[in-house]
Amino acid sequence: MKYTLENDLLKVTFDSFGAEIKSVIGKKNGREYIWNGDPSYWNRTAPVLFPFVGSLKDNKYIFEGKAYNMTSHGFARDLEHEMVEITDTSISFILRDSAKTYENYPFHFEFKNTYQLEGDTITVTWAVTNPGQDRDDKTLYFSVGAHPAFMCPIYGEADKSGYRLFFDGINELHHHGNLTGTCTHEDLTLTLTDNRAVITPEFFDRTTYIAEGNQTGKIGLETPDGKRIVTVTFDAPLFGIWSPEKKNAPFLCIEPWYGRADYDDYSGDLTSRDYCNKISENEVFEKSYRMKFE
């Protein structure tokens, strides 16, 4: 089901299927900021990633000696979420475990997504609760992340060549992505000029930019002449920058993550995955990020 929040600056549409943002329209300029989900490039708009972020080696993981299948980014984006609260400025959705989720993810959980609209900014808050587990180890293991796709170009240019990504506080981005969807151990370096990378038609042909180690907490998307379109602010230890490989697609994603894909040679189990979050019974993991549209 679709829901809408709006104020004098933004009109934001959500879908309870996936608890996903479907549209952000600037009220003063009529401009759409979120990718439209055209399946010829990518059929999603801003999926929520849970209980995994990125791809698992061979699309499976091991827990307590048993192998479980899991698609890239987990199942939250492909399930109906319950809308539990809506006000003039916020909306909340909850996804709980079910017999269906338990088949491939043997944990009880409550996953709450809250969107707060204030002026030109949307604050997204995730709250993961561990209600208790049916085993001696009561720990809940999970990852969570965002995948918002922003229109680029946005002013009618032929493509996004010349648009720029701003990375606050750094002039060199270290990343570990590859075209298989997993991570490489190779330390790849993207050199920045004045904290910025200029997008070319080939910018995404080799890799998803998977960056870890809290390299920055603020990323902006800018036009070729320096006009800021959106700024994403977060405290997550990782982020991804992605657009479909070899398509020069008219959008890109800026993705704060608490978790990431496996290395391409990973052989451990769920409890030892890098950046895996762990909470005890009745504990709540709560994190947020912001998108400011300018």
Q: Which of 31, 3, 41 is nearest to 19 (CA)?
A: 3
DSSP string, 3-61: EEEE-SSEEEEEETBTTEEEEEEETTT--B-B----TTT-S-SS-EE-S--SPPGGGEE
Q: Model confidence over 11-26: pLDDT tens digits?
A: 999 999 999 999 999 9
Torsion (CA) 96, 100, 106, 111 in degrees, nearest 10: -20
**Helices assigned H by DSSP within 75-126:** 99-104
**Structure tokens given for 44:** 């999603």
Q: Rounded to an integer, what distance in angstroms lies between the CA atom of residue 24 and that of residue 129?
A: 29
Cα angle: 241, vertex 33, 158; to 5 degrees: 80
Residue 176's pLDDT band (cuts 50, 70, 90): confident
Domain-wise residue ranges, the chain:
2-293
pLDDT exceeding 70 applies to what percent of the chain? 99
Q: How confident is the model at residue 180 (pLDDT cuts 50, 70, 90)?
A: low
Of the candidates 83, 87, 251, which has an alpha carbon nearest to the alpha carbon of residue 160?
Answer: 251
**Domain 2-293 = CATH 2.70.98.10:** yes
Mean pLDDT of 62-66: 95
Query: What is the pLDDT confidence band of residue 134, given thresholds at 50, 70 and 90?
Result: very high
Q: What is the pLDDT of residues 224-273, one digit of tens each?
A: 999 999 999 999 999 999 999 888 899 999 999 999 998 888 888 999 99
Work out the number of other CB atoms within 10 angstroms of the CB of residue 108: 19
